[in-house]
Chains A and B, each alone.
Chain A
Amino acid sequence: MSVLDELTNLELKILPILINNEKNEKGINIDNIIFQSGLKDIEVMRAVQWLSNKNLVTLNEKIDEFILLDVNGKEYVKTGLPEIRILNLIKDSEKSVSQLISEGISMEEINISIGQLKKNLSITLSKNDNNELVLFITENGKKFLQKESLEQKFLKKKFPLNINELLPEDKFAFDSLKKRKQIISVEIKKTITIFITENCKKISSDLSSVSNKIEKLTPEMIKSGSYKDKEFRSFDISSGVPKYNYGKKHFVNDAIDYVKKIFLEMGFTEMKGSMVQTSMWDLDSLFVPQDHPAREMQDTFYIKDPSEGKLQKDYISKLKKVHENGLFGLNKNEIDSRGWGGKFSEEIAKKNLLRTHTTVISAQTLAQLKDSDFPAKFFSVDKVYRNESLDQKHLFEFHQVEGIVIDPNANFTNLLGYLKEFFKKMGYDDVRIRPAHFPYTEPSAEVEVYIKETNTWIELGGSGVFRPEVVIPLLGKDIPVLAWGLGLERIIVPYFGFRDIRLLYNNDFKVLRHSKKWMM
């Protein structure tokens, strides 16, 4: 394939302009090409770069400094420099500073002008009765007014001005104005001059043949069939294209949907509930002792107002019994049961907090079940909160995945069965459990999954069978409730290889736009 075939549309558009300019020893600059081609600057830049890569042009970069008018400069072009305006105002009679201000000259301008005017002996100063400066014009001043100053002349020039093309007297005015506030500014500008190479000259005669080939297929060509007599120019298909920004689901939601699908396949019903809960539901119902360290301010977010919620009357009296003295009297055959002892406080139970786990939703779901509902399976994938500082490893809100099975015939062995099934669908070949402790389950177990790639077992969540102290006040009898849960973010972070857990929720578009799909 010849170089000609690889030329893109953009290159083809600007090549003739470059060739026309062949004779010009100074080359041609980008602005000129933009002007002649009618293309956008970015398009011309890209095309020139490609041509340079193909060794058809050489680029000559030159850096120039240009002088521009700044805010005050633009103003003074219209109204004149403040020192000249002041001289005009005091030409006939002296004026005090406050009089000048009332003529619309700012204090700042007055201060600068006094400096300037004193330097070239155009004014003298004295103080009036109010201890205020008064300005008098001198003979020098009157002469000065008659001819135009270098600075004024300078401001009348056409900007931007190339700094290298300044005349000596312009240079003086430039230095003086540069020191003053926001009259002029200097901008650095890169100009690129383009020269065509010998290679390019060689192919210039064949260019017209390329131009005869079809560049873009148009509806007219299709309708008229004019494409039939022509060839299509071939494209350089390996050249890169700009990124396309399309709509996309957040990757965490991708993972959530994936987990939900697994539960739905296993016949589980989704449960939902409030994010702000009373301590009664979040902690007391799950038999967390009222003096448990997790309840303290540093672990749990409490609500300022309303700091207290309402208690469910019948239920709270049962909870009080269970916490203080155990199950005796709440269920037949419960003789050997003692609670946490101490006094159960309704004040503590009323406290509103941001739920610390979705297990609170499990408790509320159980509270609404009837005998005819068993066996039943529920799940949730939802937000929970911990009062932590945000850092590389910690979030103060994250997602908990939770499954519960309420089945009169279920047992610990079945819990293991559900775990195996669930985690297999989650993509983990093997699962095992170790002893653990949660206040609301007995037995309690930590769940570990096997990672083939590293030949290791990693801890992924907790599980257990709800304690009778949790179940009986909710259901009125002891029916086995199997439960397990895990933190969703712990699975997502390694999948995307994030080193910092905050990357999940800082919504960096560079990450969001180009993240891979959840393919587990």
Chain B
Amino acid sequence: MPTITINKKRLLKNLNRKISDEELKEKISMLGTDLEKIEDNEIIVEIFPNRPDYLSEQMFSKALSSFMGVSEGYTEYSSKKLPSDYKVIIDSKVKSVRPYTVCAVVKNLSFDDDLIKEIIQTQEKLHVTFCRNRKKAAIGIYPMENITFPIKFTADSPEKIKFIPLESKIEMNGNEIVENHPTGKQYAHLMQGLEKFSYFIDSNNNILSIPPIINSEITGRVTNKTKDVFIECSGFDIYTLKKVLNIIVCSLAEMGGNVYSIPVIYPKNYSNSELDCDNSNNNSDETEIITPDFKCQEMKIDSEFVSNKLGRHFSKKEISGCLSKMGIGYDEKKEIAFIPPYRADILHKVDLVEDIAIAYGFFEFKPEIPQVATTGKEDLIEIFKKKIRDLMIGFGLIEVKNYNIVSYENQTSKLLFTDEESKDIVVLKNSLTVEYDSLRNNLLSSAMITLKNNKNSDYPQNFFEIGECFSLNENCAENTKLLLDKGVISNSFRFDSKVYDFPKLGVTLCSKESDFTKIKQILDGFFEGLGMNYNLERCSNKSSYIPGRAGDIFSKNKHLGSLGEIHPQVINNFDIEFPISYLELDLNSVYLSFIEK
């Protein structure tokens, strides 16, 4: 999760009172963020993804001071108008490249180095999180002194877009930036396959930027002489863009800037719903939206809803007080909440309920467990697995537990598996290493790894594992279906992924004395313990066993598993030096036979 670094001195000045690190820590974490650490003048806070506004130090500090009751909670932001040539015109060409843009102007700022650092931090953290690494949206900030309105947002083939990008001394075209400029290279993947790049250009034909990659060195560098800025957010989701713009603009307003709105003029190939606006002026060829959009979202929420959700009575007055601490307005008469324009996380009134709970204080709620009678029930297969575990431990075997993700090579070629034996194995698409690149279909490779890792431990090494295996085989699906029909299991969505998991038992005997007799003794003991009969047929299609010393286990024609002496080549493949005899049973099959006996 992203963290932001907050200047402690500035924060304390804002809070206007002395406060110990301990108390500050407590308050910050009770506000709904995670304090990482306080070090000298730096406070590092982890921000949850639902509060992108907290990625701005200004907005965080404002929220904390209102949460602590230092300042007035709910702020209404407003914007002024600019002369009529201050507008941004959207060319219809961008619709297929980078469809949406919202803009604003903020004047009378006094940028010192700290403030520049802060605004860059906000911009960057928003880019990484809320803007999904600039994939969804990107923010551009430009000093006003070098640009001339109106500004046009248009698109062209990259080689035709030429300007000096930030941190460069020479003019480059769009392709060169993507190929050679460090920032260009970093975001090149976002431009892949685009025939045209979108760009902002002013009325003097100065290029401002190619979003979401880079600004111009001439028109797009904020310095400590900058007083007035032009801001644009461009991207693919107009709601996100409006929120991002509001967060940036509100935090600049908190720094003392004056906000001016700008008309953004879209051509006729954009509909009102696409622009999330309700312009009734549909006759015109173009749609004008005024941004930033500071309109408060209104949401009805009453005392009964809040009290039912939280399990404690909240009066309207309390609701109003709590919401105010969280920077949200409330009309007690109409029971309507006013959500400030920088909040992006209020999707439903339960989000307001959480804010009320946070304001009231999570520690203040008195735990209360209702007396509701329900009967506990354990999963039947799990109970069965426990019984089998008891049996195995009684045989003097140690239980092991291995990962379900194993190496494909280990569970196929190293076990001498044929293609036929390997065909039901499930492979991962994006594993980090070949050591763990597939889901296990058998417990034998896990047993071999266990033995390999234990070459320095005493022998005999006799052990068992009850573990999940995975298969694409329809027989596994059939077993699951039977268990479902018989009411043994109840989740009916087990067929959705077409990958079936099922429990297996693997028993491994490894020592000088391990042989077929020893493992068959375990098999006999197992079925005696379950009160079942089995029959054994010589098996020839299981390559991991020594030919002639392996058997398939059946109960009334249902195949349950196999046992035998492991082929010495397999033992060599895992660098082990003792004979191994092995037994493996599909426990879904065993269970089905068990309940039918």
B31 x A435 contact (CB < 8 A): yes
Bound-complex Cα distance A190 to B382 (A): 55
Range of interface residues on chain A? 35 or more
B497 x A352 contact (CB < 8 A): yes
Bound-complex Cα distance A504 to B431 (A): 21
Let me know if B351 is at the binding interface, CB within 8 A: yes
Name the residue on A nearest B431 (C-beta).
A301
Query: When the two chains form the complex, which single residue of B376, B382, B395 contacts A266, counting CB atoms closer than 8 Å?
Result: B376
Interface residues of A in 285-320 (CB under 8 A from B): 291, 293, 297-298, 301-307, 309-312
Say yes or no: A443-B393 contact (C-beta < 8 A), given A434-B362, A507-B402: no
Name the residue on A nearest B492 (C-beta).
A368
Name the residue on B nearest A245 (C-beta).
B458
| Chain A residues whose C-beta falls within 8 Å of the C-beta of B357 in the assembled complex | 412, 435, 443
B378 x A275 contact (CB < 8 A): no
| Chain B residues whose C-beta falls within 8 Å of the C-beta of A407 in the assembled complex | 370, 372
Let me know if A387 is at the binding interface, CB within 8 A: yes
Bound-complex Cα distance A385 to B395 (A): 32
B350 x A269 contact (CB < 8 A): no
Query: When the two chains form the complex, which single residue of B32, B365, B389 contacts A437, counting CB atoms closer than 8 Å?
Result: B32
Bound-complex Cα distance A250 to B385 (A): 13
| Chain A residues whose C-beta falls within 8 Å of the C-beta of B350 in the assembled complex | 442-443, 465, 467-468
Interface residues of B in 370-426 (CB under 8 A from A): 370, 372-379, 381-382, 386, 389, 392-405, 426
Query: When the two chains form the complex, which single residue of A274, A385, A421 contacts B497, counting CB atoms closer than 8 Å?
Result: A274
Query: When the two chains form the complex, which single residue of A250, A337, A352 contacts B401, counting CB atoms closer than 8 Å?
Result: A250
B401 x A252 contact (CB < 8 A): yes
Residue among A303, A421, A505 with most chain B CB within 10 A? A303
B310 x A413 contact (CB < 8 A): yes
B499 x A303 contact (CB < 8 A): yes
Query: When the two chains form the complex, which single residue of A249, A298, A303, A414 contacts B399, counting CB atoms closer than 8 Å?
Result: A249
Query: When the two chains form the complex, which single residue of B311, B349, B439 contacts A412, counting CB atoms closer than 8 Å?
Result: B311
Say yes or no: A273-B432 contact (C-beta < 8 A), given A263-B376, A506-B453: no
Let me know if B548 is at the binding interface, CB within 8 A: no
B497 x A306 contact (CB < 8 A): yes
B378 x A260 contact (CB < 8 A): yes
| Chain B residues whose C-beta falls within 8 Å of the C-beta of A275 in the assembled complex | 404, 439, 468, 470, 499, 501
| Chain A residues whose C-beta falls within 8 Å of the C-beta of B374 in the assembled complex | 267-269, 375-377
Bound-complex Cα distance A291 to B492 (A): 28
Chain A, residues 387-428, CB within 8 Å of chain B (1/0): the string is 111100000110000000101011111101111110000000
Name the residue on B nearest A273 (C-beta).
B491
B376 x A267 contact (CB < 8 A): yes
Bound-complex Cα distance A275 to B469 (A): 10
Bound-complex Cα distance A262 to B378 (A): 12
Q: How many of B's residues come within 8 Å of A, CB to CB?
A: 99
| Chain B residues whose C-beta falls within 8 Å of the C-beta of A410 in the assembled complex | 370
Say yes or no: A413-B426 contact (C-beta < 8 A), given A396-B436, A507-B400: no
Let me know if A367 is at the binding interface, CB within 8 A: yes
Query: When the two chains form the complex, which single residue of A341, A368, A435 contacts B30, counting CB atoms closer than 8 Å?
Result: A435
Bound-complex Cα distance A465 to B405 (A): 32
Bound-complex Cα distance A432 to B379 (A): 31
Interface residues of B in 280-325 (CB under 8 A from A): 299-300, 308-312
| Chain A residues whose C-beta falls within 8 Å of the C-beta of B500 in the assembled complex | 274
Name the residue on A nearest B450 (C-beta).
A507
* Interface hit among A27-35, A136-144, A508-516: A508-516
| Chain A residues whose C-beta falls within 8 Å of the C-beta of B309 in the assembled complex | 411-412, 465, 480
| Chain B residues whose C-beta falls within 8 Å of the C-beta of A269 in the assembled complex | 374-377
Let me know if A436 is at the binding interface, CB within 8 A: yes
| Chain B residues whose C-beta falls within 8 Å of the C-beta of A421 in the assembled complex | 369
Bound-complex Cα distance A269 to B377 (A): 4
Query: When the two chains form the complex, which single residue of B399, B428, B499 contacts A248, counting CB atoms closer than 8 Å?
Result: B399
| Chain A residues whose C-beta falls within 8 Å of the C-beta of B312 in the assembled complex | 413
| Chain A residues whose C-beta falls within 8 Å of the C-beta of B470 in the assembled complex | 275-276
Let me know if A339 is at the binding interface, CB within 8 A: yes
Chain B, residues 249-271, CB within 8 Å of chain A (1/0): the string is 00000000000000000000000
Interface residues of A in 474-492 (CB under 8 A from B): 480
Bound-complex Cα distance A434 to B402 (A): 35
Name the residue on B nearest A292 (C-beta).
B49
Interface residues of A in 148-186 (CB under 8 A from B): none
B347 x A276 contact (CB < 8 A): no
A277 x B497 contact (CB < 8 A): yes
Say yes or no: A249-B468 contact (C-beta < 8 A), given A335-B300, A365-B491, A414-B311: no
B403 x A270 contact (CB < 8 A): no
| Chain A residues whose C-beta falls within 8 Å of the C-beta of B405 in the assembled complex | 301, 354, 385, 396-397
Chain A, residues 349-375, CB within 8 Å of chain B (1/0): the string is 000101000000100110110000001
Let me know if A206 is at the binding interface, CB within 8 A: no
Let me know if A257 is at the binding interface, CB within 8 A: yes
Bound-complex Cα distance A166 to B439 (A): 62
Residue among A312, A326, A388, A443 with most chain B CB within 10 A? A443
Let me know if A240 is at the binding interface, CB within 8 A: no
Query: When the two chains form the complex, which single residue of B397, B428, B450, B490 contacts A302, counting CB atoms closer than 8 Å?
Result: B428
Name the residue on B nearest A351 (C-beta).
B429
Bound-complex Cα distance A514 to B347 (A): 54
Let me know if A264 is at the binding interface, CB within 8 A: yes
B365 x A413 contact (CB < 8 A): yes
Given A303-B426, A383-B468, A505-B403, 12 more A-B residue pairs with CB atoms under 8 Å apart are A249-B399, A272-B381, A276-B439, A293-B49, A293-B129, A297-B430, A336-B348, A365-B491, A434-B30, A435-B354, A467-B350, A506-B453
Q: Interface of A with B (CB < 8 Å)? A: 243, 245-250, 252-253, 257, 260, 263-278, 280-281, 291, 293, 297-298, 301-307, 309-312, 326-327, 334-342, 352, 354, 361, 364-365, 367-368, 375-377, 383, 385, 387-390, 396-397, 405, 407, 409-414, 416-421, 432-437, 442-445, 465, 467-469, 480, 504-510, 512-513
22 residue pairs of the A-B complex, CB under 8 angstroms, read A246-B396, A247-B392, A249-B399, A250-B400, A250-B401, A267-B372, A267-B373, A269-B377, A272-B382, A273-B491, A275-B470, A297-B429, A307-B429, A326-B348, A387-B430, A396-B436, A413-B368, A414-B368, A435-B32, A465-B309, A480-B309, A513-B398
